[in-house]
C-alpha cells in the first residue's frame, strides 16, 4: 500500500498579520513612552501636593471634623480626585505591558538545538514584565476595592446619625344611596397618607473611630502616591530594557531564524 508522506514543514498559519500588528503596537508604545512618563510625573506632583503625611493628616482631619458636624464624612476631595487618576494611569501601563508580552511571545523562534541566547533574553524580559504587571494590578486593587471597602466599614462604625423614613397610606370607600325622589345614589372614596421619620445613632461620634477613619484616608493617600511612583519607575525600566534589547526580542536567532509562538525553552 502507498504510504502517505509526512510533510517536513507544517503549512504556515497566517500569524504574520498578528505579528505585524503587535510590532506596530510596541513601536508606538516605545515612541510614546517618554510622553506618557512625563505626563505621569507631572500628575504625581499635581495630585499629591502635601510635603509630608502629617500635612495630609492635618487637612483630612479638618475635613472629616467639619463633615461629622454635618453628619457626613465623604472621601476627602484630594483622594476623590487622585485615586481614579492613578488607577487610570496604572491601567494604561498594564495594557502596554500586555501588548509587549504579546509581541515577544509571537516572536519566539522555532525550537531547535543551540543559539538560544536570544531566547534567554526574551524569557528574562517576559519574567520582568509579568512580575511588574502582577504588582501593578495588585496596587490597583489596594487603592480601589480594598480602600473603599475598608472605608465603608470604618464609616459605619463612626456613629453617625441614621435616618429612616416610613410612609403609611390609607384609603376608605363608601357607597351612598337615597330613597328620596330626585336624589342620586353615589360612591365616595377618600385617601390619606402619613410620613414618619426616625433618627437613630449617638449625638456624639466616636472619636477613636474617627481617628481610625482618618488613618484609613491617610494610608490611602500614601498608597496611591506610592503606586503612582512605582508605576513610573517600573514603566521606565520596561521601556529602557525593551529598547536596548529590541533586536533580540524581535529576532532572537537573527533575521534568518524562523519564528513561532511555541516558547518551550
* Span 66-117, pLDDT tens digits: 998 888 999 999 999 999 999 999 999 999 999 999 999 998 877 766 667 8
List C-alpha distances in Å: 65 to 45, 77, 210.
27, 14, 9
- What percent of the chain has pLDDT above 70? 73
Please, what sign has the CA dihedral across residues 132, 137, 138, 139?
positive
**How much is the pLDDT for 160?**
79
Contact 251, 118 (CB under 8 A): yes
Contact 164, 137 (CB under 8 A): no
All residues at 6 or more sequence positions from 175 whose CB lies less than 8 Å from its CB, including other chains: 185, 186, 187, 188
Torsions phi, psi of 156, nearest 5?
Answer: -60, -25
Residues of the chain with pLDDT under 70: 1-13, 112-115, 161-204, 255-265
**How much is the pLDDT for 147?**
97
> How many CB atoms are closer than 10 A to CB 218?
21
List C-alpha distances in Å: 4 to 1, 51, 89.
10, 76, 57
**How much is the pLDDT for 162?**
63
| pTM summary value | 0.76
**How much is the pLDDT for 12?**
59
> If you average pLDDT over every residue of the chain, what do you get?
84
Cell matching residue 47: 495630585
**How much is the pLDDT for 197?**
58
Q: Which helix (H) or strand (E) holds 199?
A: strand 186-200
94/131 Cα distance (integer angstroms): 11
* Span 41-72, pLDDT tens digits: 999 999 999 999 999 999 999 999 999 888 89
Amino acid at each position: 500500500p502507498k504510504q502517505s508522506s509526512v510533510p517536513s514543514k507544517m503549512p504556515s498559519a497566517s500569524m504574520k498579520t498578528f505579528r505585524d500588528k503587535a510590532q506596530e503596537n510596541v513601536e508606538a508604545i516605545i515612541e510614546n513612552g517618554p510622553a506618557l512618563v512625563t505626563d505621569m510625573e507631572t500628575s504625581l506632583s499635581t495630585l499629591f501636593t502635601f510635603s509630608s503625611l502629617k500635612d495630609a493628616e492635618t487637612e483630612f482631619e479638618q475635613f472629616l471634623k467639619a463633615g461629622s458636624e454635618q453628619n457626613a464624612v465623604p472621601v476627602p476631595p484630594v483622594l476623590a480626585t487622585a485615586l481614579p487618576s492613578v488607577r487610570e494611569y496604572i491601567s494604561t501601563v498594564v495594557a502596554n505591558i500586555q501588548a509587549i508580552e504579546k509581541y515577544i511571545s509571537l516572536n519566539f523562534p522555532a525550537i531547535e538545538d543551540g543559539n538560544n541566547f536570544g531566547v534567554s533574553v526574551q524569557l528574562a524580559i517576559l519574567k520582568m514584565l509579568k512580575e511588574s504587571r502582577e504588582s501593578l494590578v495588585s496596587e490597583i486593587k489596594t487603592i480601589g476595592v480594598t480602600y473603599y471597602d475598608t472605608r465603608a466599614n470604618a464609616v459605619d462604625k463612626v456613629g453617625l446619625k441614621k435616618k429612616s423614613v416610613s410612609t403609611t397610606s390609607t384609603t376608605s370607600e363608601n357607597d351612598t344611596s337615597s330613597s328620596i325622589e330626585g336624589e342620586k345614589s353615589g360612591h365616595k372614596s377618600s385617601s390619606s397618607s402619613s410620613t414618619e421619620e426616625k433618627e437613630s445613632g449617638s449625638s456624639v461620634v466616636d472619636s477613636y473611630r474617627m481617628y481610625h477613619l482618618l488613618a484609613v484616608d491617610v494610608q490611602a493617600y500614601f498608597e496611591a502616591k506610592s503606586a503612582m511612583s512605582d508605576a513610573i519607575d517600573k514603566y521606565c525600566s520596561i521601556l529602557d530594557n525593551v529598547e536596548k534589547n529590541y533586536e533580540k526580542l524581535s529576532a532572537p536567532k537573527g533575521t534568518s531564524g524562523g519564528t513561532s509562538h511555541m516558547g518551550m525553552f
